[in-house]
Amino acid sequence: MKDRYGREIDYLRISLTDLCNLRCIYCMPPEGISKLQRKEILTFEEIIEIVTAAASLGITKLRLTGGEPLVRRGVTELIRALRAIPGIRELTLTTNGLLLPEMAQDLKAAGLSRVNISLDTLNAEKYSRITRLGTLDQALNGIRAAQQAGLSPIKINTVLLGGINDDEIPALVDLTREHSVELRFIELMPIGCVVPFGPEAYIPASTVLERVPALQPLENARSGVAQLYALPNAPGRVGLISPLSCSFCSECNRIRLTADGYLKPCLHSDKEILLRGKHGDALTEALKAGICAKPQAHSTLSANERSDAGRNMNEIGG
């Protein structure tokens, strides 16, 4: 279905839980969050009903996220059920990767198309500092498990943190020389109650091109919201995602479903539409209303201009 500005909305991102086994400094407060009660979280039956209605309106692509989607018990069964919904052609998942060693094969067998795995650094000490609870080895084992299970092409999400991981840009880009991955650098977003980063942390994605001048723009230069580049003769590629320095609202094709059952037409708006409790025509109409409520663009974001998301990132899913 098209929204009011002619954008074809075919992508639904679903937050399965607000819980996480990490506490990344840009996403969650150190003490964690006041977690949603179990009864507040959408059941799998409710998610399947919403996705079925969304598919009837033209949603073809799903991404499961969170919090950490792999900590939601039964996620593999949910994937199997979502894949069977007529009209759903692609089902992906964003994860910190820690649980992939034990889950990747089953996720693939259930119909998961591929994964995005978050990795902000190749330095073990820094990884523990950024995620507060995890180890680099756990994340790297997760990436290996995804590769072995054939959940590819694997995309690696790296949040650019000026003064923290920007010194590693060349080393991270170097991963694409050997591995056929898409390494995506994402600008830090001022959203939710995250650590109050100073302006130096908000570096533009174009910094990557300054630090690695050998990167060349690819002919087919877009992958979703990422602008694509590659090193000469490298099997992997590099994506730059610039929500701050170069907003991509005019091409936004997505809506979001929160774990507690609200449709979020725009990541950076607190306008939400309750879907929980609606069925049949009422559910379809609420979804249409959500798609029509997508703003043309969100307000500008910068170190001093915070997102109006109204929630922490772990409650929305990115």
Confirm or reject binding of residue 134 to ligand SAM (CB under 6 A). Answer: no
Of the residues 12, 19, 20, 98, which one makes contact with ligand SAM according to CB under 6 A: 20
Sole window of 80-88, 162-170, 181-189, 222-230 interacting with ligand SAM (rule: CB under 6 A): 181-189
User: Which residues in the 67-126 window bind ligand SAM by CB under 6 A?
Assistant: 68, 94-96, 118
Q: Which is nearer to ligand SF4, 27 or 240 (CB)?
A: 27
Taking CB under 6 A as the criterion, the residue among 23, 237, 264, 294 binding ligand SF4 is: 23
Question: Taking CB under 6 A as the criterion, which residues in 257-286 touch ligand SAM?
Answer: none
Query: Which of 14, 16, 25, 26 is in the footprint of ligand SAM by CB under 6 A?
Result: 26
Residue 186 site contact among ligand SF4, ligand SAM, none (CB < 5 to 8 Å, cut-off depends on kind): ligand SAM
The one among 12, 20, 78, 230 contacting ligand SF4 by CB under 6 A = 20
Q: What distances in angstroms separate CA 181 from CA 58, 95, 142, 147, 243, one per listed residue?
A: 29, 15, 14, 10, 22
Question: Cα separation of 141 and 149, whole Å?
Answer: 12
How many angstroms separate the CA atoms of 89 and 157, rounded? 23
Return left, alpha or beta for 14; rule: phi > 0 is left, psi -120 to 50 is alpha, else beta: beta
| 27 is an interface residue for ligand SF4 by CB under 6 A | yes
Is residue 157 close enough to count as binding ligand SAM by CB under 6 A? yes
Q: Considering the complex, what minimum distance in angstroms separates the CB of residue 225 from ligand SF4?
A: 17
User: Given the complex with ligand SAM, which of 53 and 75 has the nearer CB atom?
Assistant: 75
Residue 24 binds to ligand SF4 (criterion: CB under 6 A)? yes
Instruction: Give the count of residues interacting with ligand SF4 (CB under 6 A).
Output: 13
Partners of 256 in the β-ladder: 13, 264
The CA distances from residue 73 to 135, 180, 213, 279, in Å, are 22, 31, 44, 25
166, 228 Cβ separation under 8 angstroms: no
- Residue 221: exposure state from Cβ atoms within 10 A (0-12, 13-18, ≥19): exposed
Instruction: Transcribe 226-272 into DSSP letters.
Output: EEEEE-TT-SSEEEEE-TTTS--GGG--EEEE-TTSEEES-TT----
Chain centroid offset of residue 22 CA: 15
Q: Pick the binder of ligand SF4 from 67, 142, 162, 290 (CB under 6 A).
A: 67
Which does residue 23 bind out of ligand SAM, ligand SF4, none, counting CB within 5 to 8 angstroms by kind?
Answer: ligand SF4
CB of 58 to ligand SF4, least distance (A): 28
- Print the binding letters for residues 116-155 with ligand SF4: x by CB under 6 A, - otherwise: --x-------------------------------------
Q: What HEC string does 74-141 produce?
A: CHHHHHHHHHCCCCCCEEEEEECCCCHHHHHHHHHHHCCCEEEEECCCCCHHHHHHHHCCCCHHHHHH
Residues of this chain that bind ligand SF4 (CB under 6 A): 20, 22-24, 27-28, 66-68, 96, 118, 313-314
